[in-house]
Amino acid sequence: MRLSPDTVEFVLLSFEGPDLYSLVGGLGVRVSELAHCLAEQGYRTRLYFVGDPHRPHIQEMVGGKLTYHRWCQWLSALNPEGVYAGEARKASDFTNSLPDHLIRFVLAPNAEHGKTTVVLAEDWHTAGAVCGLSRAVFREGLSRRTLIMWNANNTFGFGGIDWEALRQACAITTVSRYMKQVMQEVGVNPLVIPNGIPKRWLEPVDKAVTQSLRKLFPDVLLAKVGRYHTDKRWLMAVEALGEQKRMGLKPKMIIRGGSENHRINILEKAWQQGLVWSEVVLDRPSPAAIVEELKRHAEADILELRFFVPEEFLRCLYAAADATLANSGHEPFGLVGLEVMACGGIAFTGCTGEDYAHSFNNAVVIGSDDHREITVYLRNLLQDPKTARQIRKLGQATCPNYLWEVVIDEMFRKIEFVAWIRGVDLD
């Protein structure tokens, strides 16, 4: 049974969201793309997130099928640095204010019109709101027309979750088999629904930009994008770059991190490795403008992009690089690796939650924390361009299986299963 837009609506709850203020990592990307894809398939969808205080509280798009609800804006105004500034107060406000609002303005009206609301909540910040919402749903007699699912994208905040209460309140899901095993250790057995990518990631990249990057950096070109967090193994990547330089190569690594304090440790490691680090700053970054600015920093070994990098340039960078180091030690899913593959790039992934990666087939999987593993595998590919081309080809061929349209189809089947065992009507 395909869920009908005539009888089912969706509500997404997330701390992060599509605003630059709210977009920090994979969570913001995930909920934004999922919400858009659901709306484009005709489902009335609402996304509640901690939004930019200067943008509208309510914003309609996709022909009125998608509504952004920017929550906690009064707290965002007091904490303009970003979504995680004032995190505890925002999480508390989210928990206390959202359940009654949803009952009054979404769930109850939908039920009166014979519609079921599917609530998809993300990560620990929403766990309290989910438990409160579940109690309110029961109290108001809306259980047959409300289905709540809570998804774990990471282990952040697990210590503060009341797992027994959450398990009773909703169905629990996660994004990989690795995360399923991790969560079994806290006494829950989640369903697995993978992350997805939008169709545009499979479109051809701008060859002029990729060629300009290769002309500017004709030797070894690496890329790394992610939060400055120990899980992402930045120090290992920097050590690998230093090793390559000592071997007589001329490697360059273009990176984009975050504002985390771990950046200081990475800078120190680069200095210890004898690497030159340059900060690249731009006010209006277009792909062409970024390439021009990189020319001014081309003598550096590490070129750090200290601005919001547009997706168009990231796609070109992934395609142009000899490898993108997504070599995390703890990776719940590994969205960056999948995005790299979609662009025809070569992803060096870790071996935790990256279910899509098969080493020296569609990606290169790093199984240790020794930087020399990166160096050896990269040298293999540089000496064997045929294998490198094959990895790029098979990587791209893997990605249609992870388009949001495909993932949503799997998610609907899980929703049907959960609805059956919880006695929720979907028609």
Note the pLDDT tens digit of each residue in 27-77.
999 999 999 999 999 999 999 999 999 999 999 999 999 999 999 999 999
- Contacts by 296-301, CB closer than 8 A, 24 or more apart: 298/216, 298/217, 298/252, 300/252, 300/276, 301/241, 301/245, 301/251, 301/252, 301/253, 301/270, 301/275, 301/276, 301/277
Q: Which of 341, 337, 339 is nearest to 353 (CA)?
A: 337
Taking residues 130-139, report their average pLDDT. Answer: 98
68-103: pLDDT as tens digits:
999 999 999 999 999 999 999 999 999 999 999 999
Model pTM score:
0.94
Residue 256: strand pairing partners: 225
- CA dist., res. 220 & res. 425, Å (int): 57
pLDDT in tens, 252-267: 999 999 989 999 999 9
Angstrom distance (rounded) from CA 112 to CA 100: 17
Mean pLDDT rounded to a whole number for the chain: 97
Contact of 369 with 329, CB cutoff 8 Å: yes
Q: State the average pLDDT over residues 142-150.
A: 99
**What is the pLDDT, as a whole number, of residue 1?**
61
Residue 339 pLDDT class (50, 70, 90 cuts): very high
Residue 25 pLDDT: 81
State mean pLDDT over 329-354.
97
Residue 334 has pLDDT above 90, yes or no: yes
Q: Are 357 and 363 in contact (CB under 8 A)?
A: yes
Please, are residues 57 and 22 in contact by the beta-carbon 8 Å criterion?
no
Using 50, 70 and 90 to split pLDDT, how confident is the model at 6? very high
Report, in angstroms and rounded to the nearest whole number, the Rg of the chain calculated over CA atoms.
22
Tokens representing 305 are: 């992009």
- Helix (H) or strand (E) holding 260, with range, is none
* Closest by Cα among 26, 27, 34 to 10: 34
Domains and CATH numbers, the chain: 8-196+403-422 (3.40.50.2000), 200-401 (3.40.50.2000)
Judged against a pLDDT cut of 70, whether residue 204 lies above it is answered with yes
Position of tokens 């160096």? 375
Please name which of 308, 319, 258 lies closest in space to residue 284, comparing C-alpha atoms.
308
Q: Which of 155, 161, 19, 22 is nearest to 87 (CA)?
A: 22
Q: How far is CA 225 from CA 105, 209, 229, in A?
A: 40, 18, 11
DSSP string, 223-237: EEES-S-GGG-HHHH
Burial of residue 117 (CB within 10 Å: 0-12, 13-18, 19+) is: buried
